[in-house]
Amino acid sequence: MPESFTDTPLLTERFDAALHHATAHHARQLRKGTDVPYAAHLLAAASLVLEMGGDEDEAIAALLHDVVEDGGGPDALAEIERRFGPVVAGLVLDNTDAVERDPDGGGRDWYDRKRAFVDGFPRKSPAALRVSLADKLHNARSILLDYRTFGDDLWARFGQRQGLATRVYYRELARAFEGERERLGPSAGPYVDELRRTVDAITALTAERQGPDSREFLR
């Protein structure tokens, strides 16, 4: 089959500028416990958003979704709005679980942020949910691949001995996205299913290595 082309490309120079903005901000950052540049995750998230039928604003938000949370703070959010518009800034904010994080918050801070993030799903727009789904799906795939490769040593990256909190969080995420399936749109449905398969595979592999766990909610 011959390649397809369009006279009206979805991605413009705004996307190019956002990619440069993201890679500059995360230039020294690596994926947890690896030598992989953090930009790999941002590119994967943007790719997944586009595969789900997202528009350019969503793809740009996927590139920038961690800028505010990973050290940028309110000033970074204001810069994103100035350069890429209020729609993109809103999508980034909806995918930021803490604009200004308490450095002494510890485990309870993590719990509160994740609980609030999941509880906020019904109030988020379909566009914001697609950006989030792309982010979480790529993270879940990476966790599964690395768990198969490195075993339980993987969980040390998350500051956990057995990884229970992370697994419970991703089970909740899978359930929350399933609850929003209709609002996400038909093109996103297969990616909701893929997140569920990936999370279930993590749970099954953990049951083989650690024994089953029954905890289902971040309570």
Which residues form the catalytic set? 69-70
**Cβ atoms 92, 77 nearer than 8 A:** yes
Residue of 30, 106, 113, 33 whose CA lies nearest to 69: 113
Greatest alpha-carbon pair distance for the chain in Å reads 57
CA 155: distance to chain centroid? 18
CA separation for the pair 25, 67 (Å, rounded): 7
Residue/partner pairs of 145-150 with CB below 8 Å, 24 or more apart: 146/33, 147/202, 147/205, 147/206, 148/205
Are residues 14 and 60 in contact, defined by beta-carbon separation less than 8 angstroms? yes
Q: List the structure tokens of 119.
A: 């509880």
| SS (HEC) of 194-214 | HHHHHHHHHHHHHHHHHCCCC
Gyration radius (Cα) of the chain, Å? 17
